Chain A
Amino acid sequence: METGSTDIFLSRAAEFFSLQYDFALYALLAAVLVGVICGLVGTFMVLRGMSLVGDAAGHATLPGVAIAFLLTGTKSAPALLLGALVSAVLGAMTITWISRGPRVRADAAIGIVLSTFFGLGIVLLSYIQASPTGQQAGLSEYLFGNAAAVTPAQIGVVALAGAVLVVLVGIFYRPLSLMVFDERFAQSLGLPTHWLELGLMSALAVAVVLSIQAVGVILVAAMLIIPPSAARFLSKKLPGVMVASVVMGGVSGALGAMLSYVYEGVATGPAMVLVAVFFFALALGFGPVGGALPRALRRRRARQRAMPGGAR
């Protein structure tokens, strides 16, 4: 990069983080909150092998958003979020329902539901876009996310819900971690694993719905999957993985919002995801738990120990 463009980048970045504009502050808050919430909930999803359910739930919110807009005729946040929630829950229930028999496996069910709901959402969105009132609605923001469009009221809702999620995960940490690690044993202790599972799915739906305005329905799953996956290379204990995931999610949010501010026209969601992927690549290469470089070093040390003196 030339010196000149680096200077411009740095001054624009400094301008964003100095938070002299309200919308920059809101964008930063929204993106960080989303990163933190997704990093937390995503840890359990990834460890339970349910990452793609988050992807399906994200895509499944779109028809809900569109229908809520068609019914109310306004872009009022509570209505759209409620529509998104109902639609995400419907999507999750449909996955469970069609994969119940032996013919349709879970991965196929997820693919079917994801594409059906998303296809329906896109059709509805095109219809809205073509109508006179729809053109200004800016519903396409829900596709890729626009953290700068998040209102203070929405940030309040996201912050509150995020706080509730953190408290609930704190309270139910032991049963949740036990169920994800060893469900059979959890049942033998008399833990209500069905309810815990339902709680986890609800947390997922809530996290997705809270995130779509900032990240967009298409990429919200990335924020649920990438930070926890990277965090697994950083700690061999669950609390460590959770903290690392939350921190990486939050930082990805902050840097993503900044990039989206500096490079006008770049949507927040893709920017956040790319930052998260950058962290993931670092973790993959250098993470102390199974990262490529530490593993290679350990192998070399083991070889040297095996043949003392002959290590040349």
Chain B
Amino acid sequence: MSAGDALTIQHLNLSYGAERVVEDVNVKLKPGSLVGIVGPNGAGKSTLIKAIAGAKEPDSGTITICGEEGRRGRRHLTYVPQRGEVDWDFPITAEEVVRQGRFAHVGLLRRFRGDDKAAVTDALQAVAMTALKHRQIGELSGGQQQRVFLARALAQGGEVFLMDEPFAGVDAATEKAIVEVLRALRDAGKTVVVVHHDLVTVSDYFDELVLLNRTIIAQGPTAEVFTPDNMRETYGGNLAIFDRRDAVAVVE
């Protein structure tokens, strides 16, 4: 492992009860990359994400973030959960959600200082949600809610951004806005890891891919990894694959 890696996973095994769901996963990601994790339902994507985010204890193996393991490593990690995991009727405004991104910095009792407030303002601005910041989150559309989540991550900062299906159930405009923010993060030298479902957009969005089905099927630059053979191996028979000129289009 070179010191410069942003996220390194070695020999990771995860299971629920007696059932092994993720087996011997090895991943190495460099700073400044935008990476898609792709695989069929039940491939262990969510479980892997949970383990990286510290919500699931591995059976064995190590997860190293910016050279540090465990809780110390996760200080460099910024996690954006799936939209469905949150209570959207909760009494909280969009701005308050974004302020949660600063909780790790301000601790229990310290008041928000100028830099904390600036981070919140900038984050809301970056996802074009400033005008709606006083809305209760339940009053926002799915796409707007996802932008608020992304803004919370931006306000938090960090080196590795982990996003669980950020494009699920959002409108086209939001999807475009999110992709732009993710690219800006990558260009600023951050590592952005995204669990993604839509195979049509995979080659547009991601520089690198990790193909997962219980274990890693393939990983590397999208152009090399996103091949009919690899996709067939990842998805089994449930996939219609069309070779179209030089590009590969895949439909689940």
Contacts and interface: CB of A to CB of B under 8 A. Distances in A.
Contact of A184 (B85, B93, B103, B104): B85
Interface stretch (B3-11, B72-80, B173-181, B216-224): B72-80
Secondary structure of the B side of the interface? mixed
Contacts of B54: 187-188, 190
B55 A232 contact: no
Contact of B109 (A171, A178, A190, A236): A171
Contacts of A187: 53-55
Interface in B82-137: 85-87, 90-93, 96-97, 100, 103-104, 106, 108-109, 136
A237 B96 contact: yes
A171 B108 contact: yes
A278 interface: no
| Range for the number of chain A residues in contact with chain B | 20 to 34
Contact of A178 (B77, B78, B103): B103
A236 B93 contact: yes
Given A172-B108, A236-B136, A185 B81 contact: yes
Contact of A241 (B71, B77, B85, B91): B91
Given A175-B108, A190-B74, A182 B91 contact: no
Nearest to B152: A185
Interface string A234-262: 01111011000000000000000000000
Interface residues of B, number: 29
Contacts, number: 74
A189 interface: yes
Interface string A182-200: 1111011110000000000
Contact of A190 (B75, B85, B93, B100): B75
Contacts of A184: 50, 53, 55, 79, 81, 85
A241 B92 CA distance: 10
A191 to B, nearest CB: 9
A263 interface: no
A94 B82 CA distance: 32
A289 B90 contact: no
A188 B55 contact: yes
20 contacts: A47-B87, A49-B87, A178-B103, A181-B86, A181-B87, A181-B90, A181-B97, A183-B85, A184-B79, A184-B85, A187-B53, A188-B53, A188-B74, A189-B103, A189-B104, A236-B91, A236-B93, A237-B92, A237-B93, A238-B91
